[in-house]
Amino acid sequence: MRTRALASALGLALATDVAPAQFGPQPAQPPQPAYPLSPPSTGSQPAGLPSAPPPQTPRAPFFPPRTPDSRVPAPGEPRFLPIGPGMSPPLGPSPLAQPRDLVQPQPLQGPSETESPVPRVDPSVKLPHPENLLAIDAATLTVRRATGAWELWAGRTLLRDFGPADRDAGEMLRAMRSMRPTEWGRIGSPRTVVEYGLTSGEPPKMHANARNAQPIDRKTVRAESVRGAWVLRDDANILLNFGSAKADAEQAVAVVRRYGFNRLGLVGVPTPSAAYFYSAPEIPGHVEKETPNAALIRAAQEQSLTRTGVDVPGVGYVGEQVAIDPLKLEVKKVQNEWVLLHGPDVLGRFGYSELTARDALRVVKDGRFTQFCRVGSPGVTFFLVNGQPPKKVPFDVQGMRFEPADVRARETVPGVWAVCDATGRTVLPAAGKDDAELVAGVIRAFKFDQLCKVGQSPKAQMTFFARVGR
């Protein structure tokens, strides 16, 4: 056993000594350099080995150049950041970095040439009629929903009913809050056409943030009759339509000039549901140039008026005529009374009878009436179909028949006038002689031959003329 172990150890030792001799002499390995700051020469590269990659020289960090004034600034002196690549030079010391005693107060500057002066009351302009003003608190303005309609309230006072138009109510609320008025004025009777706000009798200093507004030229603003309707207009646009109310149009002109209003805010698209005056900044001396199509635009505005006078053949414009939009017709209960409405206009009053009001709505829609007309002091009403008398009406609403050529104004008793037929039967009562002659002339011009009624009670019905005999 000992002999076998000694033989194994001797064989291992012999193999170790003989191994270098079997493979011949080994080539010498080149020494490893420290950090190659420069590429090695090609002559020292051993044969058979790949060339070493070029060494990467580290980039030196950037230090901003020192300026002559590189000392540490004393307290209170401005401090500058060093200017590096891609940096712009400093604009100057910040006022916050300076001591308080070095900051110079700036004098107050007056309004520049591009700013308009604050609107003030012009005492030289007198209003033709007393103002309809309501004291309000802008902090109490709210929008409420009642019986399916959106209403604008100031405290406990209802300002306007917007019906289902919730966006219009919210827009009007924002405009009034931005102006912060203490008084709210209205122009128009029986329907409100335009409104405006005052702050302690002065025009508001804050202007409304109106989404839709039209400029007002105070130099050319005026009241003018267009197609039998009184409108507020300037040389560029027709701004408001007051119908037959000449006094309201003149009051609006005086309000614009007295308080310096230069904008008309409109609420609602495409048909405005409310309008209000306000003042906005403008450039002094700036004059709008008239466009080449200004005359065509004015003519189109005049033809598109939805509230005009009634064009009576052979007579001219009298009374008031409203173009009917079927989508605006509705039956509504107003102050315990059922009425047929077309926007702000009341077509008929029916007291406590909702059924009669809906019958009247059916008559208007089935007859396809396109114009609602009102003439005379007591409000004699009738409908037209494209400018012509209606010829088809339901049998249950047909009433008194008469011959149009025989209708005359007659004094039934001393001081009481009426429109009567040839037999002396009263067709309609009148407020006076002039009123009776006007209504009789309208009947003869349109050749009405029947007085139709919806409802049995004289105080709760809708009456209108028709021509059904021929």
Residue bearing the bigger pLDDT, 336 or 386: 386
Compute the average pLDDT of residues 238-261: 95
Structure tokens at 167: 């966006």
Q: Which residue has the tokens 């407020």?
A: 431
Residue bearing the bigger pLDDT, 250 or 40: 250
Least confident of 101-110, 170-179, 245-254: 101-110
Confidence at residue 73, expressed as pLDDT on a 0 to 100 scale: 61
Residue bearing the bigger pLDDT, 380 or 22: 380
Tell me the pairing of strands 194-198 and 408-413: unpaired
Structure tokens at 3: 């002999």
Q: Based on the number of CB atoms within 10 Å of its own CB, is 430 exposed (0-12), middle (13-18) or buried (19 or more)?
A: buried
Q: Which residue has the tokens 């590269």?
A: 45
Question: What ranges in 180-219 are assigned the alpha helix state H?
Answer: none
Residue 144: its H or E element: strand 141-146
Least confident of 55-64, 305-314, 344-353: 55-64
Confidence at residue 16, expressed as pLDDT on a 0 to 100 scale: 47
Q: In what order do the strands lie in the sheet with 329-333?
A: 329-333, 338-342, 345-349
Confidence at residue 20, expressed as pLDDT on a 0 to 100 scale: 44
CA distance 143 to 125: 35
Structure tokens at 146: 């009642």
What is residue 164's DSSP assignment?
A: T
Give the residue extent of every domain in the chain. Answer: 132-281+296-304, 309-466
Amino acid occupying residue 290: E
- Tens digits of residue pLDDT in 316-332: 899 999 999 999 999 98
Rounded to 10 degrees, the C-alpha dihedral 437/438/442/445 comes to 60
Compute the average pLDDT of residues 239-267: 94
Q: Is the pLDDT of residue 469 over 80?
A: no
Confidence of residue 18 (pLDDT cuts 50, 70, 90): very low
- Tens digits of residue pLDDT in 443-462: 999 999 999 889 877 778 88
Mean pLDDT of the chain: 80
Exposed e or buried b per residue across 129-152, where buried means at least 16 C-beta atoms within 10 angstroms of its C-beta: eeeebeebebeebebeeeeeebbb
Least confident of 86-90, 272-276, 389-393, 414-418: 86-90
Task: HSE, CB side, 13 Å, CA atoms: give it for residue 236.
Answer: 11
CA distance 252 to 223: 8
**Could you tell me how many residues make up the chain?**
470
349: β partners: 339
Q: Is the pLDDT of residue 222 over 90?
A: yes
Share of the chain above pLDDT 90, in %: 47
CA distance 33 to 37: 10
Confidence of residue 115 (pLDDT cuts 50, 70, 90): very low
CA angle 388/391/393 to nearest 5° reads 125
Q: Is the pLDDT of residue 56 over 80?
A: no
Residue bearing the bigger pLDDT, 174 or 206: 174
Confidence of residue 175 (pLDDT cuts 50, 70, 90): very high
Q: Based on the number of CB atoms within 10 Å of its own CB, is 176 exposed (0-12), middle (13-18) or buried (19 or more)?
A: buried
Confidence of residue 163 (pLDDT cuts 50, 70, 90): confident
Q: Is the pLDDT of residue 50 over 80?
A: no
Confidence at residue 127, expressed as pLDDT on a 0 to 100 scale: 95
Confidence at residue 107, expressed as pLDDT on a 0 to 100 scale: 47
CA distance 437 to 469: 23
Confidence of residue 207 (pLDDT cuts 50, 70, 90): confident
Structure tokens at 26: 């080994």
Confidence at residue 395, expressed as pLDDT on a 0 to 100 scale: 79
What is residue 335's DSSP assignment?
A: S
Confidence at residue 177, expressed as pLDDT on a 0 to 100 scale: 93
What is residue 88's DSSP assignment?
A: P
CA distance 406 to 180: 60
CA angle 179/210/133 to nearest 5° reads 45
Q: Is the pLDDT of residue 247 over 90?
A: yes
Compute the average pLDDT of residues 350-365: 92
CA distance 164 to 232: 28
What lies within 8 Å, CB to CB, of 367 at 6+ separation is 383, 385, 390, 392, 393
Q: Is the pLDDT of residue 82 over 90?
A: no
Contacts 24+ apart (CB under 8 A), 213-217: 213/263, 213/264, 213/265, 213/266, 213/280, 214/239, 214/263, 214/264, 214/266, 215/262, 215/263, 215/264, 215/288, 216/256, 216/261, 216/262, 216/263, 216/264, 216/277, 217/288
3-state secondary structure of 17: helix
